[in-house]
């Protein structure tokens, strides 16, 4: 039954792709920053060592980057909540026709996950390209680590997925748990 929820979620996500551009771009901005910070982390630590607090400065930079990424994912959650409120009648029809809660929740979670992944991947790719170009022209004085960039890509994608799910599960669960008659009669 969950595969039907995934299929339905993919179709609805494709139908609503234009509404996912802003949340995806916001997530991409955060992912870009995370990847650049991780790619240049070794150089940042070396530069910070001259100030005497290399570890603290390194952690603060990473924390700021991840915070920006989470702001992007919160935008995805806001878009999910907005989507759910616009789709209450649809959810009521699904519930009234006997579709179980699991596939409905799955269908609703596809959109934020795809939006978060698309943003994280886009931002990561742009960050890796920009980092390599900056390193090649000598503009990244501290240098770029490909291992750090790969770790940044992994962190940005995993944090984006985790945060999108964490911020979207409760609203989708509540929406899927409403009595169908309430969703159909009030629409909200």
pTM for this entry: 0.81
Tens of each residue's pLDDT in the chain, 188 residues = 778 888 888 998 898 888 889 888 888 988 898 898 888 877 777 777 777 776 777 777 778 877 877 787 777 778 778 878 788 888 888 888 888 888 988 988 998 899 999 999 999 999 999 988 988 888 766 678 888 889 999 999 998 899 888 888 888 888 888 888 887 776 55
CA-to-CA distance for 105 and 102, rounded, in angstroms?
5
Torsion of CA 161, 162, 164, 166, to 10 degrees: 160
In this prediction, residue 141 carries a pLDDT of 66
List of residues 6+ apart from 174 with CB closer than 8 A: none
Q: Which of 20, 184, 1 is nearest to 90 (CA)?
A: 184
CA-to-CA distance for 26 and 73, rounded, in angstroms?
8
Domain boundaries, the chain: 2-12+19-186
Q: What are phi and psi of 50, to 5 degrees?
A: -65, -20
Question: Token pair 């878009």 is at which residue?
Answer: 79
CA-to-CA distance for 7 and 4, rounded, in angstroms?
5
Q: Check if the beta carbon of residue 112 is closer than 8 Å to that of residue 168.
A: yes
């Amino acid at each position: 039954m969950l595969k039907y929820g995934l299929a339905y979620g993919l179709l609805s996500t494709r139908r609503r792709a234009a509404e996912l551009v802003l949340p995806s771009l916001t997530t991409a901005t955060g992912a870009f920053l995370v990847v650049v910070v991780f790619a240049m982390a070794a150089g940042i630590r070396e530069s910070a060592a001259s100030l005497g607090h290399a570890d603290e400065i390194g952690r603060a930079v990473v924390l700021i980057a991840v915070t920006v990424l989470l702001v992007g994912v919160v935008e995805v959650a806001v878009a999910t909540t907005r989507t759910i409120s616009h789709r209450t009648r649809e959810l009521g029809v699904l519930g009234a026709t006997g579709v179980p809660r699991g596939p409905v929740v799955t269908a609703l979670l596809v959109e934020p996950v795809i939006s978060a992944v698309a943003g994280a991947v886009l931002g990561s790719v742009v960050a890796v390209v920009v980092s390599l170009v900056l390193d090649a022209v000598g503009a990244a004085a501290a240098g770029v680590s490909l291992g750090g960039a790969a770790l940044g890509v992994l962190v940005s994608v995993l944090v984006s997925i985790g945060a999108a799910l964490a911020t979207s599960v409760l609203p989708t669960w509540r929406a899927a748990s409403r009595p169908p008659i309430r969703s159909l009669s009030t629409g909200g």
